[in-house]
């Protein structure tokens, strides 16, 4: 069995903005269950501070461009595999990546420090055989390893990069190169240059031993110009080491039978609690209780162009004018999309209610209380909400892209292909028709609830990948 050090920018429950955090919160446990030793390194943000942790290393020297930073290292008291890089000047802020004014201007340095610090953690605290990096925030680590080739500490260390979202690459002007300790000679199209900028994710793609992404379908899609965000050529060139491994769901956190965050627990055997959750949700959002027997659509999303908010904007007016259906939405992000949802609620106050913000418990109450979960993503590397929806008996309506296509089938939900509001409406209408047929609807709910997306399958695939890197001949 292997020793794995994961490097990422979020991990549940310590820091979260999206699904990346859910993955880092759950995959290590599933790997541990297979016998691996796993540590996870993330920064210690302001939102991370309330968790019980102890300082285990006071002064971890990390040198970039001749400047030595001296972060310290904390360890979670509850989950000892979780390590936190403490450097208040960089991380002790309310946002992870930015605030209302936009991205933090020093993100290049903040995440270079994280990636470079991983090697000092590896040297002094936890010696891994595989360094498993996640997304652009850890993308420089495989490149830094090349620069440490002379250092016997890291002899034989293998690197894996998991791409959770190709739409975020970590692009910075070349003027950051000296401060992040990288030589200008790397700034070429074969290296880390990308349309005149330094690209952290590209560094990871070029220099890692193996690449993964979070569904089979997305692994194929990112090799096409439509989904490749300019990196499709490089990904095609690296296709022989690129694998799609579907995320799992953390059923310890997302299970209607035990979920402490929903008003009434329920199971496939007794769905009455779900109806109670629906009524509570309607009340909470100030929608009419008479809607209790009508289809209630739920949305929980980061509001970005990735998630298909523009389709909803286009379709909603006609849809709610003609259909006896209801919508509750939770999300935040792009101010334009926030406004769009606010406008929608203002135009249809009896049908649409919106909560702009980030609210973990409310996300659970929507999963439990809605009948239909809408996810019309333009692209979706995996998507976790539709998987949670299945377990909560909330039937997904999704665009057939990435992980949405891999996880939803005609027994459990409704899919549409074209990224158009017309195609989305056809799928939504089909869902409403099915909802009207109580027997058929219950069958779909139960089919979804019985699907198993637990982490074991993904962990086994990562395990096999680590093994193939560490013992290439055995495979």
Residue ranges that bind ligand GLC, judged by CB under 6 A:
18-20, 23, 164-165, 214, 247, 380-384, 403
Give the C-alpha distances (Å, rounded to integers) separating 293 from 45, 325, 373: 44, 10, 16
75 vs 215 by CB, closer to ligand GLC? 215
Give the C-alpha separation, 198 to 173, whole Å: 6
2 vs 389 by CB, closer to ligand ADP? 389
| Listed ranges 75-83, 197-205, 280-288, 355-363: which one lies at the site for ligand ADP (CB under 6 A) | 355-363
Give the C-alpha separation, 457 to 452, whole Å: 10
113 vs 384 by CB, closer to ligand ADP? 384
- Of the candidates 48, 37, 26, the one whose C-alpha atom is nearest the C-alpha of residue 4 is 37
CB 298 within 8 A of CB 372: yes
CB of 361 to ligand ADP, least distance (A): 8
Give the C-alpha separation, 344 to 323, whole Å: 15
CB 370 within 8 A of CB 278: yes
**Mapping DSSP to helix (H, G, I), strand (E, B) and coil, where does residue 68 land?**
strand
CB of 186 to ligand ADP, least distance (A): 30
E strands, 325-382, are 326-333, 352-356, 372-375
- Order across the sheet with 158-163: list the strands: 53-57, 72-76, 82-86, 37-43, 3-7, 130-134, 158-163, 210-213, 242-244
115 vs 247 by CB, closer to ligand GLC? 247
From the list ligand ADP, ligand GLC, none, pick the one residue 214 interacts with, judged by a Cβ distance below 5 to 8 Å according to partner type. ligand GLC
CB of 19 to ligand GLC, least distance (A): 3
| Listed ranges 52-60, 184-192, 228-236, 324-332: which one lies at the site for ligand ADP (CB under 6 A) | 324-332
Spatial neighbors of 338 by CB under 8 A, at least 6 apart, are 303, 331, 332, 356
Place of tokens 């975020």: 168
Which of positions 77-116 make contact with ligand ADP (CB under 6 A)? none
331 scored as a contact of ligand ADP (CB under 6 A): yes
330 scored as a contact of ligand ADP (CB under 6 A): yes
22 scored as a contact of ligand ADP (CB under 6 A): yes
Q: Which residue among 19, 25, 28, 139 contacts ligand ADP (CB under 6 A)?
A: 19
Site string for ligand ADP, 283-302 (x = CB under 6 A): -----------------xxx
Per-position b or e across 42-67, b if 16+ CB within 10 A of its CB? bbbbebbeebebeeebeebebebeee
CB of 330 to ligand ADP, least distance (A): 5
Spatial neighbors of 382 by CB under 8 A, at least 6 apart, are 19, 164, 214, 215, 218, 246, 247, 402, 403, 406, 407
CB of 134 to ligand GLC, least distance (A): 8
CB 74 within 8 A of CB 60: no
Spatial neighbors of 50 by CB under 8 A, at least 6 apart, are none
Task: Report residue 178 as tokens.
Answer: 């000296």
CB 222 within 8 A of CB 162: no
Task: Report residue 218 as tokens.
Answer: 């997305």
Q: Which residue among 287, 311, 363, 459 contacts ligand ADP (CB under 6 A)?
A: 363
Q: Which residue among 359, 420, 446, 454 contacts ligand ADP (CB under 6 A)?
A: 359
360 scored as a contact of ligand ADP (CB under 6 A): yes
338 scored as a contact of ligand ADP (CB under 6 A): no
248 scored as a contact of ligand ADP (CB under 6 A): no
305 scored as a contact of ligand ADP (CB under 6 A): no
312 vs 375 by CB, closer to ligand GLC? 375
CB of 394 to ligand GLC, least distance (A): 17
Give the C-alpha separation, 220 to 120, whole Å: 35
From the list ligand ADP, ligand GLC, none, pick the one residue 363 interacts with, judged by a Cβ distance below 5 to 8 Å according to partner type. ligand ADP
Q: Which residue among 62, 384, 432, 458 contacts ligand ADP (CB under 6 A)?
A: 384
371 vs 380 by CB, closer to ligand GLC? 380
CB of 323 to ligand GLC, least distance (A): 28
CB 106 within 8 A of CB 91: no
Q: What is the DSSP string of 382-406?
A: S-SHHHHHHHTT-EEEEESSHHHHH
| Listed ranges 44-52, 61-69, 110-118, 329-337: which one lies at the site for ligand ADP (CB under 6 A) | 329-337
Residue closest to ligand GLC (Cβ): 19
2 vs 377 by CB, closer to ligand ADP? 377
358 scored as a contact of ligand ADP (CB under 6 A): yes
Q: Which residues bind ligand ADP (CB under 6 A)?
A: 18-20, 22, 300-302, 330-332, 358-360, 363, 382-385
């Amino acid at each position: 069995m292997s020793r794995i050090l994961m490097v990422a920018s979020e991990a549940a429950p310590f820091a979260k903005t999206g699904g990346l955090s859910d993955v880092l919160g759950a995959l290590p446990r599933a790997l541990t269950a297979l016998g691996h030793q796993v540590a996870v390194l993330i920064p210690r943000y302001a939102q991370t501070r309330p968790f019980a942790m102890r300082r285990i290393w006071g002064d971890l020297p990390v040198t970039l461009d001749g400047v030595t930073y001296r972060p310290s290292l904390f360890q979670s008291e509850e989950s000892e595999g979780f390590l936190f890089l403490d450097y208040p000047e960089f991380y002790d802020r309310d946002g992870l990546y930015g605030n209302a004014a936009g991205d933090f201007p020093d993100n290049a340095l903040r995440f270079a420090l994280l990636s470079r610090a991983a090697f000092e953690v590896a040297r002094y605290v936890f010696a891994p055989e595989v360094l498993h990096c996640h997304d652009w925030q850890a993308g420089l680590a495989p490149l830094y390893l090349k620069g440490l080739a002379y250092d016997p500490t890291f002899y034989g260390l293998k690197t894996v990069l998991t791409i959770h979202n190709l739409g975020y690459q970590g692009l910075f002007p070349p003027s950051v190169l000296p401060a992040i300790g990288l030589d200008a000679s790397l700034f070429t199209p074969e290296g880390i240059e990308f349309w005149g900028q330094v690209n952290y994710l590209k560094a990871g793609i070029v220099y890692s031993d193996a690449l993964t992404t979070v569904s089979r379908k997305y692994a194929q899609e990112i090799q096409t110009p439509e989904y490749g965000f300019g990196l499709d050529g490089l990904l095609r060139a690296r296709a022989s080491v690129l694998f799609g491994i579907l995320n799992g769901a953390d059923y310890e956190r997302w299970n209607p039978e035990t979920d402490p965050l929903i008003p009434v627990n329920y199971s496939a055997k007794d769905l009455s609690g779900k109806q109670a959750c629906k009524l509570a949700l309607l009340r909470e959002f100030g929608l009419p209780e008479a809607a209790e027997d009508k289809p209630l659509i739920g949305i929980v999303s980061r509001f970005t162009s990735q998630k298909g908010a523009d389709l909803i904007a286009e379709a909603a007016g006609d849809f709610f004018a003609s259909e006896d259906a209801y919508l509750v939405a939770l999300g935040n992000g792009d101010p334009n999309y926030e406004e769009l949802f606010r406008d929608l609620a203002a135009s249809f106050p009896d049908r649409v209610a919106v909560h702009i913000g980030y609210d973990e418990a409310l996300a659970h109450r929507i999963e439990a209380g809605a009948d239909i979960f809408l996810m019309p993503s333009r692209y979706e590397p995996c998507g976790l909400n539709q998987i949670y929806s299945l377990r909560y008996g909330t039937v997904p309506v999704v665009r057939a892209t990435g992980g949405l296509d891999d996880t939803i089938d005609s027994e459990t939900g409704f899919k549409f292909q074209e990224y158009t509001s017309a195609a989305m409406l056809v799928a939504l209408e089909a869902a409403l028709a099915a909802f009207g047929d109580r027997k058929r609807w219950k069958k779909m709910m139960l089919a979804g609830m019985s699907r198993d997306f637990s982490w074991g399958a993904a962990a086994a695939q990562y395990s096999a990948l680590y093994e193939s890197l560490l013992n290439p001949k055995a495979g």
